[in-house]
Chain A
Amino acid sequence: MSTMTSQSEAGRETPGTARSLLAIHNVAKSFGKNPVLRDISLEIAQGEFLTILGESGSGKTTLLRIIAGFESADSGEILMEGERLDLQPPYRRQVNTVFQHYALFPHLTVEENVGYGLRVAKRPKEEIATRVDQALAMVKMSAFAKSKPAKISGGQQQRIALARALVNRPRLLLLDEPLSALDANLRRQMQVELKSLQREVGIAFVFVTHDQEEAMVMSDRIALLRMGELEQVASPREIYSRPATAYTAQFIGHTNLLKGEVRAGVARCGSLDWPVALPDGPVLYSLRPENLRVTKSMAGGPGVNVVRFRARIRHRAFHGSTELLQVECVDGLKLSVRTAGSDPRQDDLELEFSPEDAIPVRPSEERA
């Protein structure tokens, strides 16, 4: 106990940690012989919307469950404002969860569900009533206060689950793929609502999803998890435009991976080459399809700041506002190109890109 208080005092005194809400240090977890999380370290700031993004089996839900207290880490520690969180049972943590399938209590009405946390905390009756009313108004569900969960739709249950968690004014709200059970339109609507709600209440959200678009739309920062390890933690803009690894570049949006070599300040990938400021050696570049352009004027000669090459269209996929072309260069290199629209009579193209759009990335080794 004494160490915990001294730690918390130290936490308040140190100005550097004042904005940090949650600190995860070297957390690892195995189920049997199967490692699920390896050495995860992550900081979550006050009022931040952080998304843990990953494919199924990446360990994202396990990480969330460790923060909530439903699982314990094999090693490492979690601090909330300097105090050990991972030693507390889940019911003493000032953390609330919105569960994937909402987990509303079927025997309680909507308002009893929302008031559950306040009732077990033995708050006065009038306070419970006011706060429940406010929470229901916040998620626009006041009209359903007396309904049982079975009588309301999935999207409405989702809102109740949110109100039930937020009414307790947690320091941190965990959301475990809360939108995955909703249909596409409702999901988009809820993404916007959830994000504006989070700004309104100012509580830090940790949102787990496998949907990279969802992560991009909602998050302040994305923590990309792969096979139990963090690939990259950055803002959506940065993680998209500056992916650190080949996996990140491929998982978040589409990309072309160009394998090549740097020699004497020139990067060479097949028949393409451009000057770079990198040491000699093998290199891997990520080049987004939208950063490849169809050259406007053929007469311009070799561009100063662009790499130009000829390619043949192999496949066209029309996406409405854009078109995704699969092209093949003379040396057989295949690339994806996103354009506003291509001339259907034209099969041969001259393409170009700026060298600064080719981002060197770390190769991601295949792991079984």
Chain B
Amino acid sequence: MKRKQLKFAVGSAVIVVALSYLAYSGFQESKTFYQTVPELYALKDRAYGMKLQVSGDVVAGSKTRDANDVYFTIGQEPQTLHVKYVGKAPLPDTLIDHATAMATGKLGRDGVFVADSISAKCASKYEKESAAGVPIAKKE
């Protein structure tokens, strides 16, 4: 009986160790520091080089696109961040003016944030309501 229990213990341990290793390496590969725009600027030099997810509201009218990339600005004046989106996936439909965008990527030395993925949450995604608690009536 003892030997059999040992076999189970060894089998389970191998699985657990293997999975822990995978979890650890997966974690190292994909860990991303989540920051708001002011927090990003507070990091100063440390902000360069590490993988970041920056969230901020899309500045109205800032979205432009050229042949390959899409550009927009997030944050609140005076602390705004220019984002250059270089990813392949289509931009989410929810990325509209004033929506909260989360850009994942790295901050370039030129101050432009190069993002390979963008997600955006409509300012009031499921609960369409103005700040006063009044549903927005249709403009007639």
Do A and B associate with each other? no
| Interface residues in chain B, defined as those with a beta carbon under 8 Å from any beta carbon in chain A | none
CB within 8 Å of B: which residues of A? Answer: none
